[in-house]
Structure 1
Amino acid sequence: MSWLWAIIVGLVLGLVARAVLPGKQHIPLWLTVLCGILGGMLGNGAAGWLGVAHTRGIDWTRHVLQLIGAILVVFVVDLLWNRIRGRRATGARQRM
Structure 2
Amino acid sequence: MRTLVWLLRALLFFTLFAFALNNSHEASVRWFFGHEWRAPQVIIVLVAFGLGAAFGVLAMVPAWWRHRRAAQRIETPVAPAPSAPDAPTTPYAAHQDGV
Normalising by the residue count of structure 1, what TM-score does the alignment of the two structures yield? 0.37
Which gives a bigger RCO, structure 1 or 2 (Cα 8 Å, sep 6+)? 1
**Structure label with greater radius of gyration:** 2
More strand by percentage: 2
Normalising by the residue count of structure 2, what TM-score does the alignment of the two structures yield? 0.36
